[in-house]
A and B are shown apart, each in its own frame.
Chain A
Amino acid sequence: MAVDPAKIENMLTNVEELPTLPSIIGRLIELLNDERSQAKQIAELISSDQALSAKVLKIVNSPLYGVSKKIGTISQAVVILGYSTVRSVVLSTSVIETFTRKDIHEGYFNASEFWTHAIGTAAASRAFARTYEVGRVDDAFTAGLLHGVGLLVLDQYLPDVMAQIQELVELEDLPLVEAEEEVMGMNHARVAARLLEEWKLPEIIVKAVANHIHVDNCPDDPQLASCVHLGDIFTRALGYGSAGEPTVPAINSAALMALGIDHTAFPVLIEPVDRDIQKASVLLEFARAGASA
């Protein structure tokens, strides 16, 4: 039975318990989005949370960022890697922690499988952004990590809607997105974008997440969404985690056009993309630690 899209929007607007990021992250996003903020202010704020500092340092020193010399303090991390990378790292740890908290019940999705796919997509999206010189590689990573959080919101807050969707996927072999659009008149990318707007994430990330399924919907700035689109599909093909359905969606030709490539590039791309996914495994430790806490 179809649900009125307005009802879903209304529910999302009024769900008081929509996941919230820790308050320190809200302040950090404000600082990181403010061009007038100084590295010192950002470093001081992160350093005031010891647990967060330790996580950030572990990630920036992991193969994911490939720094040659060990980064010992948050100040160094901000100076050496830049605002954009630190924002990406802080957000990644915080979002994973928020969604793997003990009070978040496990619905249809297995947390470990979900985050394995999300982290893989983040790394693969970053690899596409870097390879095709889209720029904004950290935004590609963040958007890739968050591309599926709409599924977690549905699973957590609208479980009856999610059950209807999964019934269509499992019993009628419908692609997940088609099932979502049939049941609620929108897909999980729209739900995710709604949450990210609430979190006041930069518009460029919100748009990339919102359009990563139907890339042809954002002709004015399709490159970042295209990186996430291809990152998602390559991660599924390579078999990292679960995206909520066993099938791999078709690649939208608009994504290939936006990056100026065609399918003959795939044999060259697959190995570096896979290598980058493996380098991001440090983030999986946080997902697993949260899920088992």
Chain B
Amino acid sequence: MKTKATSQLVPGDIVAQPVSDGKGNVLVHAGAEITDALIRVLSRRGVEEVEIKEGDEAEQEEQESRRLELSHSDPVTKQKIEEMQERLNLGFHRHEGNVTMAMLYKTTVDYLTAKIASGER
């Protein structure tokens, strides 16, 4: 975990500690992903710095969250999620190091995992 000035935040950073305004209202929960819109909101509300997860830490927590999601799923859901990940691993195997494709991969895995887990797919 490290402290970053709001002006230094970049989209994709993961919030490590809840961010509150002066009145104790939580503006951003821990685990939220920083976006351009969120940076503007934080600046407007006078938030000067935010605790951000380190790269490895964020990745590990994300993997742990996926593992937990899988371990709580029924076997059919679990199999669907594994098949989806296998399909995407094959589909994206040429794009190692490509930031844009890494974001599309992560976005798709997260979205489809949630969709399968909720029984929509």
Using a CB–CB distance below 8 Å, which chain A residues touch chain B? 175, 233-234, 236-239, 246-248, 250-251, 253, 256, 262-264, 266-268, 270-271, 274
User: Which chain B positions have C-beta within 8 A of A253?
Assistant: 100
Q: How far is the CA of A234 from the CA of B91 in the complex (A)?
A: 12
Q: How far is the CA of A151 from the CA of B37 in the complex (A)?
A: 41
Q: How far is the CA of A250 from the CA of B104 in the complex (A)?
A: 10
Q: Is B84 in the interface zone, CB < 8 Å from A?
A: yes
B99 touches A263 (CB 8 A): yes
| Interchain nearest-CB distance for A273 vs B (Å) | 10
Q: How far is the CA of A263 from the CA of B108 in the complex (A)?
A: 12
A248 touches B103 (CB 8 A): no
Residue of A nearest to B88 (CB): A237
How extensive is the interface on chain B, given as a class?
20 to 34
Q: How far is the CA of A267 from the CA of B87 in the complex (A)?
A: 19
A233-B104, A253-B100, A256-B100 known; A267-B91 Cβ under 8 A: no
The one of B11, B93, B112 in contact with A238, judged by C-beta atoms closer than 8 angstroms, is B112
Q: Is B33 in the interface zone, CB < 8 Å from A?
A: yes
A247-B90, A250-B95, A264-B11 known; A239-B84 Cβ under 8 A: yes
Q: How far is the CA of A233 from the CA of B105 in the complex (A)?
A: 11
| Interchain nearest-CB distance for A188 vs B (Å) | 19
The one of B12, B35, B98, B108 in contact with A237, judged by C-beta atoms closer than 8 angstroms, is B108
User: Which one of B36, B95, B105, B111 has the greatest number of beta carbons of chain A within 10 Å?
Assistant: B111
User: Which one of B12, B84, B87, B107 has the greatest number of beta carbons of chain A within 10 Å?
Assistant: B107
The one of A250, A256, A264, A270 in contact with B12, judged by C-beta atoms closer than 8 angstroms, is A264
B101 touches A267 (CB 8 A): no
User: Which chain B positions have C-beta within 8 A of A234?
Assistant: 104
Closest A-B pairs by Cβ, 6 of them: A264-B11, A263-B103, A248-B91, A266-B107, A263-B100, A237-B108
| Interchain nearest-CB distance for A7 vs B (Å) | 30
Q: How far is the CA of A237 from the CA of B91 in the complex (A)?
A: 8
Residue of A nearest to B36 (CB): A264
The one of A175, A246, A271 in contact with B90, judged by C-beta atoms closer than 8 angstroms, is A246
Residue of B nearest to A273 (CB): B111
User: Which chain A positions have C-beta within 8 A of B95?
Assistant: 248, 250
User: Which chain A positions have C-beta within 8 A of B100?
Assistant: 250-251, 253, 256, 262-263
